[in-house]
Structures are given as C-alpha cells and as structure tokens.
C-alpha cells in the first residue's frame, strides 16, 4: 500500500475528532506524500475513509463529522499540487475540485453490510489494524472490553491505544506481551486473567488483507467457571470411591477395638488407669467422626427440604455461636435486608454449612494483627432470584493460592483441621441448587457468599 494511503486515515481522524486542538495543525507531512497524486485518487480514498469513520460514530454526530471531513478535504486541496496544472484549466480547476469534493462526502447513511452486522453481534471483540499500527475497525464488543466509545478509538495508533486512559494496566501489560510474541512468531494466542475475568486473546497478521493485523478477544470467564466446577465434581467423585473403601477397611476394625476397650474398662478402673480408657475411647470416637465427614464429603444425604425464613435461620445460628464469640472477644452481628425472604432447604444441612463457616471466621479473627476489634457480620439479601447469605470477617484473609484450593478435600491451613468442612459444605450447597463465592484479601478479611434459590422464584 502506498504510504500516503496509510497516513491519510489517522491524520483525517486526528483532524476531525479533535476540533478544539486543530489551530495551527500541521498537515505538511501528508501534503508532501500527496504531492503528484491525482485528485480523483484522493477523492476516492477520502470517501472510503469518511464512510469508515462515520460507521463508528453515533447517529447525532455523523453530520458534524462529515462537515469537518469536508473542511479537511478543502484544506488538503487548497495546498495540493495536482498533476493537472495546464494553464488553460487553472480557472476551471478550483470549481471542479469543489464539486468533486462535495461528491466525496457520503451524505446518505448506508445500511451496514450483512457481514458487518454479523461482526457487530459476535460475542468476541474484533479489531483490525493497518501494518503501520493504525486502528481501522473495531466492533461493539471490543469497544466494550476497552471501555471507550468506538469513535474515540478509531484511527488511533497502537501506541496511543496502549496508553489510552480507559485501558486498564493489566490489559496494557497483556497487549504488550502479546505484541512481542507477534513480532517474533507472526502469531500469538493465549489465555490471560484480568482481575476476575479470563480473556482468550488472539493476534495474527493476515496476508489476504494486505498484511493487516487482526486482534480477537473473547471473555471466557463463564466457561472457566464451568470448567472449574466440572474439575471439582471429578475430584469429589474420585473421593467417593476412596471413601467407600476406607469405610469398609477402617470403620469395622475401630468398632471392634472400641468394644474390647469397653470390656477392659472395669479392669483399668480397678488399677487406677481409667483415664487411659477414656482417652482411647475419645480418640476412637474422633477417628469415627473423621470417617463420617469423609463419607459425607463424597455423598451427603439427599436434602429433606422445608420452607424457612432466612432471618430465623441466621438468628438460630447466632444463638449457637455467640457464647464462643463472646469468650474470644469477637463482635457477632446480623443484618437482614428482607425479613420475609424464604428458602426451601434441609435446615440441618444448611445450618451445618453456616456453622462451619462461622467457626472458620472465628479462627480467622483470633489473631487480628492491628488494634481493630475482631468482628463477624452475617447478612441476608435477595439478588436475582437467589437468597444471598453472607458471612464476613475482618481476619487475616487468604492469598490467591489458598483461595484456588479452598474447597479441595483434605486441604486445610489449620494444624488440627481435616480439610473436609468446606468440601462438605460445597457439596451440600450444590445439592440445594445453589453456589458459593469467596472474596478475600490478605490482612483485610474474608467474605463467604452462599447463593440459594428463594421460594418465590422457584414457584
């Protein structure tokens, strides 16, 4: 592509979209490139570029853009040295140019082609750059990802886009890394995390489009969540097979040992060793409890549902934990935004889930580093067909690695924990048709959010 064609569009965009800074605008570089270019070629290219520019503008801005593009063309032609410079045509030429310039402005709004309509309705963001790095096209999803209107982004260079104020720092670093890969490999593709979003980004240089660079971005966060959920279910299914074998191989011998210890208990009491019997029996019971939790983590019993008020459920939970919280100096509060919010649940199972999370919160606030008073806040609200139960604390928080393994069986950060509590809780919530989300920051605290369908929505 001729160099003047490459430079024409970005200069036109800069002139048209930045009217307030146009005073003293320097067109000398473009005019040098246009020297000797036939006027009809300029008109043809100008019309093509104005159509492209107008297609990215809002309806109310299009007439103003076309007017300013006409001023740009007149300014170009006023300084342009045409190849047709015969003395006999000197007086007629300016009038011919004005008429041709007016025809080069697409006054009638054209309907987008079928292919452009398809591009605008894709769930992926699409952008097309010239080999020189100027943005020629982007669809609505791409502008939404970049959080800026298309009319502002179109015509900008790659450097201007990378340092655009609307672009987040994480996206900027991702694009720079992929640009480097493209420079050496001619193609780059990868999955990147931008905050809570997962983005699949592809950059390729297409020879069929005269070497233009195509950038595609797809938000795959939802697919990632489904993938992680399937992976979690696979782990729990494998855990179920192991649990059945452990229950058969260990529980029966423990029952036999417990029976013989009870037979020996009178003898141990007679020789003053009754404490030994008590310790052995309590440890056997503790081992049985661990196996029981292990079995439940693979297949909790089917929920026996009943309709309950969420507020009443949380108040009962507080009654069971407030004495322990008081002894640790922890402030335990509850806030119900909708007192009539009801859910259909197995009360025993969901109460077990909430109690487990409150106890985890008590452990988290046990060693608050600064002078903050440790507190745990329970709340309930309605959100998009779900009752959301939140358990928030201002404890030590968790890092990203801990969060990624939080619901894995046997994963625990406690010296005496089994790592089964949250795994069991996760499965119980899933069996109720709900889900659980966790938000945590080191040194600030953790919030568990349990989403359960409320009765009104399901009916």
Per the DSSP assignment, residues forming a β-bridge with 126 are 216
Distances (CA, A) of 219 to 163, 215, 223, 254: 22, 14, 9, 52
Residue 200 tokens read as 């699949």
Report the pLDDT value the prediction gives residue 105, as an integer from 0 to 100: 52
Instruction: Say yes or no: do domains 114-219 and 306-458 share a fold.
Output: no
Pairing type for strands 331-336 and 375-383 reads: parallel
CATH architecture of 306-458: 2-Layer Sandwich (3.30)
**Count of alpha carbons within 13 Å of 18, Cβ hemisphere only?**
16
Please check whether residue 174 is in contact with residue 201, taking contact to mean a CB–CB distance below 8 angstroms.
Answer: yes
Alpha-carbon distance of 170 to 172, in angstroms, equals: 5
| Strand order through the sheet with 375-383 | 331-336, 375-383, 386-393, 445-453, 435-441
Sequence spans of domains, the chain: 3-103, 114-219, 224-298, 306-458
Instruction: Answer for the pair 150, 166: CB distance below 8 angstroms, yes or no.
Output: no
CB within 8 A of 294, min separation 6: which ones? 243, 246, 247, 418, 420
Edge-to-edge strand ranges of the sheet holding 197-206: 135-138, 124-129, 212-219, 197-206, 187-194
Q: Which long-range contacts (CB under 8 A, 24 or more apart) does 11-18 make?
A: 12/46, 12/49, 12/50, 12/53, 12/69, 12/72, 12/155, 13/53, 13/154, 13/155, 13/156, 14/155, 15/68, 15/72, 16/53, 16/65, 16/68, 16/69, 16/72, 17/65, 17/151, 17/152, 17/155
pLDDT tens for the chain, 459 residues long, are 467 777 777 777 777 766 554 554 567 777 777 777 777 777 777 777 777 776 666 666 666 777 677 777 777 776 654 444 433 344 444 555 455 555 555 545 555 566 667 777 787 888 888 777 788 788 888 888 877 777 777 777 777 777 777 777 777 787 777 777 766 766 677 777 776 778 888 887 777 667 778 888 888 888 887 887 778 777 767 776 676 677 667 877 888 888 888 888 888 888 888 888 888 888 888 777 777 766 665 555 667 788 999 999 998 888 888 888 888 888 899 998 888 899 999 888 898 899 889 998 998 888 775 667 889 999 999 988 899 999 999 988 888 888 888 888 777 777 666 677 788 888 889 888 899 999 998 888 999 999 999 886 444
Q: What are the structure tokens assigned to 157, written together?
A: 């260079």
CA distances from 236 to 162, 290, 344, 400, 405 (A): 44, 16, 25, 22, 13
Task: Give the pLDDT confidence score for residue 458 in this predicted structure.
Answer: 42
The number of C-alpha atoms within 13 Å of 284 and in the hemisphere containing its C-beta is 19
Report which of 368, 380, 274 is spatially closest to residue 329, judged by C-alpha positions.
368
Q: What is the predicted pLDDT for the residue at 93?
A: 43
pTM of the model: 0.43
Tokens of 431: 């069996």
> Tokens standing for 46?
């100008």
Q: Output the CA–CA distances (angstroms, integers) from residue 147 to 117, 152, 167, 189, in the order listed.
A: 21, 11, 7, 22
Closest CA to 228 of 447, 403, 433, 386: 403
pLDDT at 88: 39
What pLDDT does 354 receive? 92
Structure confidence at residue 436 (pLDDT): 93
**Residue 78: per-residue pLDDT:** 67
CATH class of segment(s) 114-219: alpha beta
Long-range contacts made by residues 123-127, C-beta under 8 angstroms, separation at least 24?
A: 123/218, 123/219, 124/216, 124/217, 124/218, 125/215, 125/216, 125/217, 125/218, 126/214, 126/215, 126/216, 127/214, 127/215
Structure tokens at 183: 């420079």
Would the CA dihedral through 140, 142, 147, 150 be positive or negative? negative
DSSP string, 190-236: EEEEETTEEEEEEEEEEGGGTTEEEEEEEE-HHHHHHHHHHHHHHHH
**CB 445 within 8 Å of CB 333:** no
Q: What is the pLDDT of residue 450?
A: 95
């Amino acid at each position: 592509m001729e160099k003047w064609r490459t430079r024409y569009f970005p200069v036109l965009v800069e002139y048209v979209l930045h009217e307030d800074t146009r005073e003293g605008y320097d067109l000398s570089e473009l005019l040098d490139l246009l020297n000797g270019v036939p006027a009809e070629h300029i008109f043809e290219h100008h019309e093509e570029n104005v159509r492209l520019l107008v297609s990215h503008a809002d309806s109310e801005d299009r007439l103003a853009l076309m007017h300013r593009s006409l001023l740009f063309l007149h300014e170009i032609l006023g300084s342009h040295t045409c190849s047709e410079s015969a003395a006999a045509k000197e007086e007629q030429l300016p009038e011919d140019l004005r008429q041709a310039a007016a025809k080069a402005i697409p006054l009638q709004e054209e309907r987008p082609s079928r292919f452009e309509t398809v591009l605008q309705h894709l769930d992926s963001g699409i952008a097309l750059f010239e080999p020189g790095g100027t943005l020629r096209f982007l669809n609505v999803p791409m502008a939404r990802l970049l959080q800026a209107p298309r009319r502002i982004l179109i015509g900008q260079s790659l450097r201007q886009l990378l340092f655009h104020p609307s672009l987040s720092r994480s996206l900027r670093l991702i694009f720079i890394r992929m640009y480097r890969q493209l420079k050496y490999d001619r193609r780059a593709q990868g999955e990147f995390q931008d905050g809570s979003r997962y983005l699949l980004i592809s950059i390729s240089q297409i020879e069929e489009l005269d070497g233009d660079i195509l950038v595609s971005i797809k938000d795959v966060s939802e697919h990632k969540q489904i993938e992680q959920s399937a992976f979690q279910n696979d782990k729990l299914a494998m855990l179920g097979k192991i649990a059945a074998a452990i229950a058969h191989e260990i529980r029966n011998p423990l029952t036999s040992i417990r029976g013989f210890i009870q037979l020996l208990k009178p003898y141990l009491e007679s020789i003053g060793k009754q404490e030994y019997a008590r310790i052995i029996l309590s440890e056997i019971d503790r081992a049985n409890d661990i196996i029981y939790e292990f079995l439940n983590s693979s297949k909790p019993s089917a929920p026996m549902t009943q309709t309950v008020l969420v507020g009443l459920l949380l108040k009962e939970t507080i009654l069971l934990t407030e004495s322990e919280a008081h002894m640790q100096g922890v402030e335990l509060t509850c806030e119900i935004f909708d007192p009539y919010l009801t859910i259909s649940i197995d009360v025993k199972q969901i109460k077990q889930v909430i109690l487990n999370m409150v106890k985890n919160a008590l452990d988290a606030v046990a060693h608050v580093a600064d002078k903050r008073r440790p507190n745990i806040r329970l709340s309930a609200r309605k959100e998009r067909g779900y009752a959301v139960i939140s358990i928030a604390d201002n404890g030590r928080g968790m890092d990203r690695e801990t969060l990624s393994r939080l619901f894995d069986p046997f994963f625990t950060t406690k010296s005496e924990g089994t790592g089964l509590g949250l795994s069991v809780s996760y499965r119980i919530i899933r069996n109720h048709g709900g889900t659980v989300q966790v938000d945590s920051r080191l040194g600030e605290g953790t919030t568990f959010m349990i989403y359960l369908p409320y009765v009104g929505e399901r009916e």
